[in-house]
Amino acid sequence: MNPAMAPWNDPSRLETVLDLSIIALLGASLFIFFLFTSRLVKGGRVRRKTKLRERFQNSINVIVELDSSHDAKPAAYQFHYSDLQKDMGRSNLAKQVMVDQLVGLKRNLSGSSANTLIKVYLRLGLDQFSLRKLNSYRSKRKAQGITELSQMEVPSATKRIKSMLRSSNRTVREEALIGLVRLDRDMSLDFLDDYTSRLSSWVVMRIHRQLSFSDKRHLPDFSRWYRHVNADVVLFAIEMTRQFRQINNASKLAELFNDANQRIATLAIEVCGDLHSVEVADHLIQLVKRDWSNDIVSLSLVKSLGKIAQNDLHWQALTDYINHPNYAVKFEAVRALYFSEHESKYLQRWPVPSTPDLDAILRHVKDPLLQS
Amino acid sequence: MTAFFFVVNALITIYAIAIASAYLILAILSIIEMRGYLSKNFFIDYKLVLSSPLAPGISLVAPAYNEGLTIIDNVKSLLSIMYNNFEVIVINDGSKDDTLAKLIPAFDLVKVDFDLRYTIQTKNVRGVYKSRNQAFRKLVVVDKENGGKADALNVGLNISKKELVACIDVDCIIEPDALLKMVKPFLEERNVIASGGVVRIANSCVIEDGRLIEVKLPEKLLPRMQVLEYIRAFLLGRMAWSKLNGLLLISGAFGLFKRDIAVAAGGYNHNTVGEDMELVVRMRRYMHEHNLKYKVAYIPDPLCWTEAPSDARILSRQRNRWARGTFETLNIHRKLFLNPRYGLMGMLSYPFWFFFEYLSPFIEFFGFVYFTFLLVTAQVNWPFYLALTLAVYSFALFMSMFALYAEETSFFKYTQKRDVLKMIWVALLEPIWFHPRVVWWSLKGNIDLMKGKKSWGEMTRQGFVQYKKK
Amino acid sequence: MNILLCDDDDVLASMIQFKLSREKFGDVTRASDGKMAIELLNQRKFDLVITDIHMPYHSGLELVTHIRQTLKQSVPIIVLSAEGLENTVLQAFEIGANDFITKPFSPAELAIRVKRLLQK
C-alpha cells in the first residue's frame, strides 16, 4: 500500500465517513416523518375547514337574504347570528374560516347584500380579530389583517393602516396602499401626497381596479400629482388620467412633454393621443424635429399625432415620419395616414417610385385581418 | 506515485465537500425563497391581471415540427389560456407531415399581407396566416422553411409586436393561469428581463382536449425518476439562483422574455442545441455590457406539463443533447468565467455551472473508477470503500427527501397517499438504478460533441392522446 | 324550471343558489367547472344558464359558444363575471349571451334579470 493511502485506511476516517452517512440518513428519515405528518395534519385541517364552511354557509345565506330584503323582521334571523356565534366559538381557525368566507363573498357582492356582510362581520366581533393581526410580528399576518379590515370597510382601522405605508416589508406596504384606497370614502387619495416609496405596475393595476368600482364623478383630479417628487406617483397620475378619461387635463399634460424623465414625457404624449386632445397637437409638432433621433419619443409622438392631427401642418409632420429610420415609427405613420381622410393627398407625396418597404407596410396596414 | 495519490485524493475530497455544501446551501436558500414566494402570493388574485387594461401584451411563440397528430388540440388549448392582451404565434417549421394542412381548415386560416421584417436573420418565411373566424383572432400561423427550433423562435420574435414574448414547446400543456403568474415579476419590478417557470411531468396525467384534468404520478419507473429529478432541480436549485439573481437557465419549455432585449441581444442562437440556456446567458451579458440593472425571475408554481421520455433510448438522446447544449453555451460564453465585469453571473453562476453541473459527470465517473481501482489494488480496504459508497448514497437520499418534503409543503400536486410511498421508493432506487445511467449519457454526449455531432436527434412524438380518461 | 349555474367559487355559488330557490325560480343545478358544465348541458336541457367566465377546464365563453353553435340551443344565458373589459363584454354578446353582469353584483338585481329572461 502506498503511504499516501494510509490515512484513508485509518479507522477514525472510516468512522467520520460513517457518521456523516448516519447524519444524512437520519435527516432523510426526518423528512419522511415530516412528510407523513404534514400530510395528515393538512388533511385534517382541510376537513375541519370544509365542515366549518358548510355550517356557516347556510346561516350566512339566510341572514344576507332576509336582511337585505327589508321585509323580514330581524327576529326572524336573529337565531342565525347566535348559531354562527356558537359554531365559531373561541377557535381561531373557525374565526379565520368565517372571515375568509365573509371577505370572499363581499368581494363579489355589492349593494345591500354587501352591507349586510359587513354587519355580520362587526356583530360577530371579527373586526377585533382582524385588528389583533396588525400587531403581529409576522408580515403575512399583518398584511392579512389589513386586507380583512379594508375589505370589510372598518374606518377606525384607517390610521393604523396608514402608518404601515412605511413598513419595511413590501407586501405590508402594498396591502396598506390598497387598503387605504378601499377605505377612502371620499376618494381623495390624500395619502399619495407624501408617498415616497415605489409604486409598481402591479400596485397601480390594483388601485385602478379598486377605483373603477366607484363613481367616476367622485374620483380626484389626478393632475394634482403631475408635479409630485416621486416619479412613480406622477406616472400613476398620468395613467389614471387616461383610464378615467380626465380630458380636461390635456393642457396640464402638455406641460410634461418636456419633463426630464423620458418615461413621464412619453406617457404624457401617448395619453394626450388616447384622449383625442386635439388642443395639444401644436405642442407635439414642436417636438417632432427636436426628438427626431430619439426612437422612443418619436414613436409616442407619431402614435399621438396620428390620433389628433387636425391641419396641414400636423399631417405634414406625419408624412415626414414616413422617412424616419425606425421601422415602428414609419409603420405608425403609414397607418395613421392610411386611415385619415387625407390619405390620397398625403400618400401621393411619397418618394417616387414608392419604395418596396413602404408598399409592404401599406399592404399590411390595409389587410382587414391585420387590424389590431 | 505518492504525490499522485495525495493530490488526486485531496482534489476529490475538496470537490466532494464543495459540491455537497453548494447543493445544501442552494437547497436552504430555495426553501427560504419558496416560503417568501408562497406567503407573498397568498394575497394575490391573479384574475386581477386578467381584467386589467394595464396588463402588458404577450406573444406566445410555439414552434411546431411534425406535430400533425396533436396540433389542433394543442393550439386550441393555447388559445384558451387565461389572458387578455395576447396572441398565439404558431410557427410551422417546414414540417414534413400535415401540420399546416390540418391547421388551415380547422382554424379557417387565410394568408395575410404581413410585412415581415427579418430583424433577426432567419430561414425564409413562406406565409403568414390569420383566421377569418373572430373566435380565433388571437391566432397567427407562420409557415417557414425548416431551420430548427431556434430559428423558428426567432421568426416569432420578428413577428411579435407585443412587449413580452413567451417561448413554449407546442406540446407542452400550459396551465390556464400560467401567463398571469409568469407576467407578475415584470409588473413588480421594472428591470425584469425574463421569467421562467417550472416544468412538470405529464406522463400518466389525464389530459383531455389539450387540458390537464388530473395530476397523476407516472406509471412507469423511468418517468417517475425524472419527476424526482425535476422536483429536486426546480425546487431546491433554481429558486435559490433566482433569489441570488444568478439564474442562468430558463427551461426551453416555457419562458417569458422582454422582446426588445431578446432581439437586441440577437435572438436565439441556432448553432447550439442548448438554445434556451444560451439566450438567457446572452441577454444577461447584454445587460452587463450596457451597464443596465436587470433581474431574471423564476416562478416555482407548476405552470407547464410536458411528456418525459419513458424509454431509455429516447431519454439517453435527451441527456446527450442536454450535455452538448450545456457545453456549447458554456463555451460560447467562456469570457464570463470569473470575470468581475459580469457580476454574480461571472463570479458565481458560471463557475458553478462549469464545475458542478458540467464537470460533475466526469468527476463522478472518474471518482468511481479511481476508488474501485484503489480497492482492487488493495490501496483501500473494503470497509472504507463501502462506507464511502454509503455516504454518497445517503447524501443523495437526503437531498431527494428534502425535495419531496419541499414539494409536499408547497404545491402538493401528488395527492394520493400511495404516491408518497411510491416516491420514497423511487428516491431509494434512483442513486443506484437511474443516476449512473444519466452520468453515462452525459459523458457520451460530450464524447459525441468531440466527434462533432450537431443535431437534436429524433424525438419521437407519442402525443398525449393515449392518456384519455376511461 | 331548471337553471344551470356555472361558477368555481363554492361560497358564492351557494349564496346564488339559495337566493334563486327562495325566489322560487325552480331547481338550480351547480357546475363547479367548465367540464362538468358541458357534461350537464349535453345530458339535459335547461331553461336558463348563468355562467362565470374563468373556470377550470373550459371558460364560460366557450360554454356559450358550445350552447349556441354545437347544441344549437336558444336557452337564455347570463354571463356573470369579475371581468368587465369592454372587449370581453362585446365578445360575450357577439357569441350569443343574453345578459352580462359584472362582479361585484347585487343578488337582487340578478334575481330580477333572471325573472325577466325566464318570463320571455
pLDDT in tens, B137-146: 899 999 999 9
As a whole number, mean pLDDT of residues A63-86 equals 81
Number of other residues whose CB lies within 10 A of the CB of residue B101: 12
What is the tens place of the pLDDT at every residue in B145-193? 999 999 999 999 999 999 999 998 887 888 888 888 999 999 999 999 9
Q: Is A41 near chain B, with CB under 8 Å?
A: no
Please state the φ and ψ torsions of residue B46, each to the nearest 5 degrees. -60, -25
As a whole number, mean pLDDT of residues B117-133 equals 93
Distance of alpha carbon C55 from alpha carbon B235, whole angstroms: 28
Taking only residues 146 to 175 of chain B, the set having a beta carbon closer than 8 angstroms to any beta carbon of chain C reads none
* C60 in Cβ contact with C88 (< 8 Å): no
* A56 in Cβ contact with C10 (< 8 Å): no
* A284 in Cβ contact with A301 (< 8 Å): yes
CA distance A363 to chain B (A): 6
Distance of alpha carbon B122 from alpha carbon A196, whole angstroms: 47
Q: Which chain C residues touch A104 with a CB distance below 8 Å?
A: 9, 11-12
Select the residue from B7, B113, B263, B392 to test the A interface by mutation, using most A Cβ atoms within 10 A.
B113
Predicted local confidence at residue B440, as pLDDT: 94
Q: Is C62 near chain B, with CB under 8 Å?
A: yes
Q: How confident is the model at residue A354 (pLDDT cuts 50, 70, 90)?
A: low
Q: Compute CA distances A58 → A74, A78, A119, A228, B262, whole Å.
A: 17, 14, 17, 50, 54
Q: How confident is the model at residue C17 (pLDDT cuts 50, 70, 90)?
A: very high
Distance of alpha carbon A45 from alpha carbon A12, whole angstroms: 48
Rg of chain C on CA atoms, in Å: 13
Q: How confident is the model at residue B223 (pLDDT cuts 50, 70, 90)?
A: very high
CA distance C83 to chain B (A): 5
Interchain contact, B5 vs A367, CB within 8 Å: no
Distance of alpha carbon B296 from alpha carbon B194, whole angstroms: 5
Listed range (B49-58, B208-217, B376-385, C55-64) with the worst mean pLDDT: B208-217
Distance of alpha carbon B266 from alpha carbon B283, whole angstroms: 9
CA distance A156 to chain B (A): 22
Q: How confident is the model at residue B466 (pLDDT cuts 50, 70, 90)?
A: very low
**Dihedral sign (CA B426, B428, B429, B434):** positive
| Angle of CA points A231, A233, A238, to nearest 5° | 95
Distance of alpha carbon A60 from alpha carbon A203, whole angstroms: 32
Q: How confident is the model at residue B208 (pLDDT cuts 50, 70, 90)?
A: confident
Rg of chain B on CA atoms, in Å: 23
Please state the φ and ψ torsions of residue B163, each to the nearest 5 degrees. -70, -35
β-strands B86-93, B139-144 pairing: parallel
Q: Is A213 near chain C, with CB under 8 Å?
A: yes
As a whole number, mean pLDDT of residues B55-82 equals 90
Comparing A223 with B451, the larger pLDDT belongs to A223
Predicted local confidence at residue B413, as pLDDT: 81
In single-letter form, the type of residue at position C68 comes to R
CA distance B41 to chain A (A): 9
User: Would you list the DSSP string of B243-294?
Assistant: HHT------TTEEEEEHHHHHHTTS--TT-S-HHHHHHHHHHHHHHHTT---
User: Would you list the DSSP string of B305-338?
Assistant: EEPPP-SHHHHHHHHHHHHHHHHHHHHHTGGGTT
| Residues whose CB is less than 8 angstroms from the CB of residue A344 and which lie 6 or more positions away in sequence, other chains included | none
| Chains in contact with chain B (at least 3 beta-carbon pairs closer than 8 A) | A, C
pTM to 2 decimal places:
0.90
- Give the side-chain half-sphere CA count within 13 A for A366: 8
Cell 429529478 sits at which residue?
B229
Distance of alpha carbon B121 from alpha carbon B143, whole angstroms: 16
Predicted local confidence at residue B458, as pLDDT: 43
Interchain contact, C94 vs B82, CB within 8 Å: no
CA distance B403 to chain C (A): 28
Q: How confident is the model at residue B465 (pLDDT cuts 50, 70, 90)?
A: very low
Q: Which chain A residues touch C11 with a CB distance below 8 Å?
A: 53, 57, 101, 104-105
CA distance A107 to chain C (A): 6
Predicted local confidence at residue A52, as pLDDT: 93
As a whole number, mean pLDDT of residues B24-37 equals 91
Number of other residues whose CB lies within 10 A of the CB of residue A204: 20
Q: Is the previous residue joined to B300 through a cis bond, with omega within 30 degrees of 0? A: no
As a whole number, mean pLDDT of residues B109-135 equals 93
Taking alpha carbons only, the member of B384, B427, C42 closest to residue A5 is: B384
Distance of alpha carbon B405 from alpha carbon B420, whole angstroms: 10
Interchain contact, C12 vs A114, CB within 8 Å: no
Q: Mean pLDDT, chain A, as a whole number?
A: 90
Predicted local confidence at residue A287, as pLDDT: 93
Distance of alpha carbon B390 from alpha carbon A20, whole angstroms: 9
Q: How confident is the model at residue A127 (pLDDT cuts 50, 70, 90)?
A: very high
Distance of alpha carbon B89 from alpha carbon B327, whole angstroms: 30
CA distance B435 to chain A (A): 18
As a whole number, mean pLDDT of residues A202-228 equals 92
Select the residue from A49, A113, A209, A210 to test the C interface by mutation, using most C Cβ atoms within 10 A.
A113
The answer, yes or no, to whether residue C109 has pLDDT greater than 50, is yes
Please state the φ and ψ torsions of residue B372, each to the nearest 5 degrees. -65, -40
Distance of alpha carbon B278 from alpha carbon B136, whole angstroms: 33
The answer, yes or no, to whether residue A356 has pLDDT greater than 90, is no
Q: Mean pLDDT, chain B, as a whole number?
A: 89
Number of other residues whose CB lies within 10 A of the CB of residue B431: 18
The answer, yes or no, to whether residue A136 has pLDDT greater than 70, is yes
Distance of alpha carbon A293 from alpha carbon A296, whole angstroms: 9
Predicted local confidence at residue A349, as pLDDT: 57
Q: Mean pLDDT, chain C, as a whole number?
A: 93
| Angle of CA points B158, B152, B444, to nearest 5° | 140
* A14 in Cβ contact with B383 (< 8 Å): yes
The residue of chain C with its CA nearest to that of A56 is C11
The answer, yes or no, to whether residue C104 has pLDDT greater than 80, is yes
Comparing A348 with B330, the larger pLDDT belongs to B330
Predicted local confidence at residue A345, as pLDDT: 60
Taking only residues 231 to 290 of chain A, the set having a beta carbon closer than 8 angstroms to any beta carbon of chain B reads 239, 243
Interchain contact, C94 vs B84, CB within 8 Å: no
Helix (H) or strand (E) holding B362, with range, is helix B360-376
* C82 in Cβ contact with C103 (< 8 Å): yes
Distance of alpha carbon B417 from alpha carbon B181, whole angstroms: 29
What are residue B208's DSSP bridge partners?
Answer: B211
Predicted local confidence at residue A353, as pLDDT: 43
The answer, yes or no, to whether residue A270 has pLDDT greater than 90, is yes
The answer, yes or no, to whether residue B108 has pLDDT greater than 90, is yes
Predicted local confidence at residue A352, as pLDDT: 40
| Angle of CA points C48, C52, C58, to nearest 5° | 100
**Which DSSP symbol is given to A52?**
H
Q: Compute CA distances B328 → A7, A21, A210, B331, B342, whole Å.
A: 40, 36, 50, 5, 19
Nearest to A57 among C11, C108, C109 (CB): C11
Listed range (A355-359, B114-118, C54-58) with the worst mean pLDDT: A355-359
Q: Is B135 near chain A, with CB under 8 Å?
A: no
Predicted local confidence at residue B454, as pLDDT: 61
Q: How confident is the model at residue B97 (pLDDT cuts 50, 70, 90)?
A: very high
* B289 in Cβ contact with B415 (< 8 Å): no
Rg of chain A on CA atoms, in Å: 31
Q: Is A108 near chain C, with CB under 8 Å?
A: yes
The answer, yes or no, to whether residue B310 has pLDDT greater than 70, is yes
What are residue B297's DSSP bridge partners?
Answer: B195
The residue of chain C with its CA nearest to that of B54 is C85
* B91 in Cβ contact with B156 (< 8 Å): yes
The answer, yes or no, to whether residue B45 has pLDDT greater than 60, is yes
Predicted local confidence at residue B364, as pLDDT: 93
The arrangement of strands across the sheet holding C2-6 comes to: C27-31, C2-6, C48-51, C77-81, C99-102
What are residue B137's DSSP bridge partners?
Answer: none
Q: How far is CA A26 from the centre of its chain?
A: 46
In single-letter form, the type of residue at position B48 comes to L
Distance of alpha carbon B223 from alpha carbon A62, whole angstroms: 51
Cell 352591507 sits at which residue?
A115
Interchain contact, C85 vs B213, CB within 8 Å: no
Q: Which chain A residues touch C106 with a CB distance below 8 Å?
A: 109-113
The answer, yes or no, to whether residue B462 has pLDDT greater than 60, is no
As a whole number, mean pLDDT of residues A22-50 equals 92
Interchain contact, C87 vs B50, CB within 8 Å: no
Predicted local confidence at residue B461, as pLDDT: 40
Distance of alpha carbon B260 from alpha carbon B287, whole angstroms: 12
As a whole number, mean pLDDT of residues A295-302 equals 96
**Which DSSP symbol is given to A109?**
B
As a whole number, mean pLDDT of residues A236-246 equals 96
What is the tens place of the pLDDT at every residue in B234-286? 888 888 998 888 888 777 678 899 999 999 999 999 888 778 888 988 999 99
